[in-house]
A and B are shown apart, each in its own frame.
Chain A
C-alpha cells in the first residue's frame, strides 16, 4: 500500500490586484488578469494532478486530494 499526502494546497493563483490577500509558504502565482489566472489554474491542476478550487475572493488554490 502506497502512502500519499492528500488535502494539501500545492499552489495559490491570484491576480495582481488581489496579491495582498495571499501570504505564507505555499507557491503563489501572480497573474495579469483573470484570463491568465484561469489558464494557469488549468495548467497547474493538470501538471500537479490537483483540483482547482475557487475561494470566491479572486484567489484560486490547487489542492491535492
Chain B
C-alpha cells in the first residue's frame, strides 16, 4: 500500500479541487453561508479520500477495505435528504418560495456532485498508477472539463421566447395580454399595479417547451429567480402584490405578473431567461412518434 501513497494523495487533492470548483455561489445564493461551504467541502473531501484509496486497496488485495469503502459510499445518499430538509425549512419563510421542484433539483445536484468527486478521484488515481503522472494530470484536466459540461444545464432561454405583455384591468380582473391573472378588488392596489407592475409573456418555442412551461414547479422557479434578481415588493399580509404565472390554455404561453422594486423590463426578461430548467419539469413529447404527430 505504501508504494501508492503519492498517487492516493494526488487523487484526494484532485477530487477535493473538483468539489471546490463545483461549489460556486451564484445569484441563486445557495450555499451562501460559511457553514454550508464547510459541510460540502468536508463531504467532498471524504468522497475524494474514499475514491482515491479504492484502486490501491484493490491492487494490494485489501478486500475488507473495499467492502467498507462501498458501505461508506452509501452514506452520500443522505446528502440529498439533508439538502431537501434544509431548503424546505428555509422556503417556508420566503415570500416568493423556490418551490418543491426547485429544491429537489438543487438537492439532486448536491448529491450528484459528490459522486462526480468520487469519479474524478478514482479516475486520476488509476491513471497515475497505471499510466504515470502525466496521464494522471491529463485525466484531471479532462474530468474538470466534463464536470463543467455537466454543470451547464439548460435554461428557459432554450425553450421559450419572452416578450413584454400589456398589463391592464378588465373590470376587476388583472390581465397580461389575453391571460387572466387574478381578481383585484382594492382600487388603490389596481392603480399601483398599473403604475409599477410589469407583465411579460413566455411563448414556448415548441411542444417540448410548452410541456416545460406547463409545469407548476417550473413556473414557481421562474418567479423565485426573478424575485431574487430584481426584487419583489411583496409583503406579509399584502397578497395583492403576489407575483404569479398563468397559462393561456389555447397557446401554452405563460403570462407573468410581477411588482418589482425597480421597473426595469429588460432585467426582468433577462432574469426569466436565466432560470434553469428543472429536471422534474423536463418532458419531451416531441421525442415520441405520437407527440410529433400531435404537434402537427
Q: Which residues of A contact B (CB under 8 A)?
A: 1-2, 38, 41-42, 45-46, 49-54, 56, 60-61, 65
B237 touches A46 (CB 8 A): yes
Contacts of B189 in A (CB 8 A): 52
- Counted as pairs of residues, one from A and one from B, with CB atoms less than 8 Å apart, the total is 44
- CB-based contact A56/B171 at 8 Å: yes
- Report A-chain residues with C-beta under 8 Å of the C-beta of B31: none
Once A51-B239, A53-B172 are accepted as A-B contacts, the answer to whether A2 and B92 lie under 8 Å apart by CB is: yes
Q: Which of A1, A2, A42, A49 contacts B186 (CB 8 A)?
A: A42
Cβ < 8 Å to A, chain B residues 239-258: 239-240, 242
Residues in B neighbouring A65, C-beta threshold 8 A: 239, 242
Whether, in the assembled complex, B183 has its beta carbon less than 8 Å from a beta carbon of chain A, the answer is yes
**B92 contacts A38, CB within 8 Å?**
no
* B interface with A by C-beta (< 8 Å): 88, 92, 171-172, 183-189, 236-240, 242
Is B185 a contact of A41 with CB atoms below 8 Å? yes
* Most A Cβ at <10 Å: residue of B88, B187, B236, B242: B187
* Contact A53-B183, Cβ < 8 Å, known A46-B237, A46-B238: yes
B237 in contact with A54 (CB, 8 Å): no
- When the two chains form their complex, are residues B186 and A41 in contact, meaning their CB atoms are under 8 A apart? yes
Could you say which residues of chain A place their CB within 8 Å of the CB of B92? 1-2
